[in-house]
Amino acid sequence: MSLFDLRLQELHNKLHAKEITVSDLVDESYKRIAAVDGKVKAFLTLDEENARTSAKALDEQSGSLEKGLLYGLPIGIKDNIVTEGLRTTCASQFLSNYNPIYDATVVTKLKSAQTVTIGKLNMDEFAMGGSNENSGFHATHNPWNLDYVPGGSSGGSAAAVAAGEVYFSLGSDTGGSIRQPAAYCGIVGMKPTYGLVSRFGLVAFASSLDQIGPLTKNVEDSAYLLQAITGHDAMDSTSLNADIPDYVSALTGDVKGLRIAVPKEYLGQGIDPKVKDAVLTALKVLEGQGAIVEEVSLPHSEYAVATYYLLASSEASSNLARFDGVRYGVRSENPKNLLDLYIKSRSEGFGDEVKRRIMLGTYALSSGYYDAYYLKAQKVRTLIKQDFEQVFENYDVIIGPTAPTPAFRMGSQTDNPLTMYLNDILTIPVNLAGIPAISVPCGFADGLPIGLQIIGKALDESTVLRVAHAYEQQTDHNKQRPQL
């Protein structure tokens, strides 16, 4: 049995009693990576020398340290979250030589909690994709079936946790990029309220949608990790100055009388029958615990994908303008002039999906089209947000599938971007509204995991976690592990 199969409290007790050391945990992580990452390919960069040095320092100082629950635990960081002195590429050839000179706020917070960073995790290039096949280096494979995708863009973050390579990881979620890979890989993925977790040091894709969040083996771990990374940050102008509750204390297991809304649009056309059956079974479990389940409508959901890809691509075209071959990153050799430097550096550095979104976004923002596309999309975004607000006047949470299908076979959708985009149809509305949601395992279809999505009111992560934990306690889906 792996040390990583132990619950967080059990590991903490063993560390406190000196039955194991932080070095033991780091050894466990690198041994597992050596054994399975040649197949999974979750990591882009390992930080073994620094990780072992940090582990040794924590062990030597353990008597004088106040050990929080995250003390000494190995963590993986998605490669669009900057880490001082540790290569951060966003899985793009453009940043293949970029070594940041500062840490993202979430990384600083994790260091304060005395976690140990094992390395940087693979992703779709600049977080643009839903399968991890858009990485500029290599594709990550699903630990449950290596012929299938792990989801994206945080596919490496999800696969590493599912494969037991790290205890937990951080990802980023712009349109479902934490929750969808969590569903595909059979783990827990949390997207917090927009602004609850600082984005300082997160390489921007779409600034009004991006949010960092935890990927863990269970809901309790998600609550602990979320607690460690939340809080106001003066370095992020969108950071919320809100009171942070004790998320762990919300895990009471009690959902009696709680009102659950089930949007008919989330279980309609395009949802795999096995996914629908798993979600309906999960709802019966919650009903059996005393929750009230009723059908509702989110009428503007059908416009979410179009709205998202206009807004996200527009923001991406603006954010990625900084990558010009002049200031940092890879520079094209022997350009004829400055314009040629821009053109060649961007043409050589960016992959096809990134180029596609830059072109779409630039078009939507251009003179004569701004009002017709970008401005209209902003108005529809408001309607989608209002749909959620109206439902939350009468209900505590909204529940449905995380993704319309289980993971799909690698290469099966790479030639059809529209089909790939539609995989995010159930997660995108949450980002447009800026509200929290979590994905928890709720079953399997043909050996591949299925995710249940629980959506909550803004800043009500406590209720989302409470419902997820109550459901998890009645099932054993999260305890199953892929056999690699």
Residues that are catalytic: 78, 153, 177
What are 378's two structure tokens? Answer: 């902003």
What are 418's two structure tokens? Answer: 């529209």
Question: In this structure, what are the phi and psi dihedrals at residue 246, rounded to the nearest 5 degrees?
Answer: -85, 100
Local structure of 479: helix, strand or coil: helix
**461-473 vs 219-229: helix axis angle to the nearest 10?**
160
* Whether 81 contacts 110, CB under 8 Å: no
Residue type, 363: Y
- CA distances from residue 149 to 86, 161, 301, 404 in whole angstroms, order as listed: 27, 15, 26, 15
Q: Please, which contacts does 1-10 make with residues 24 or more away whose CB atoms are closer than 8 Å? A: 2/28, 2/32, 2/164, 3/28, 4/28, 4/29, 4/32, 4/164, 4/166, 4/167, 4/217, 5/164, 5/481, 7/218, 7/220, 8/69, 8/70, 8/73, 8/220, 8/221, 8/224, 9/69
Look-up of token digits 């279809």: 445
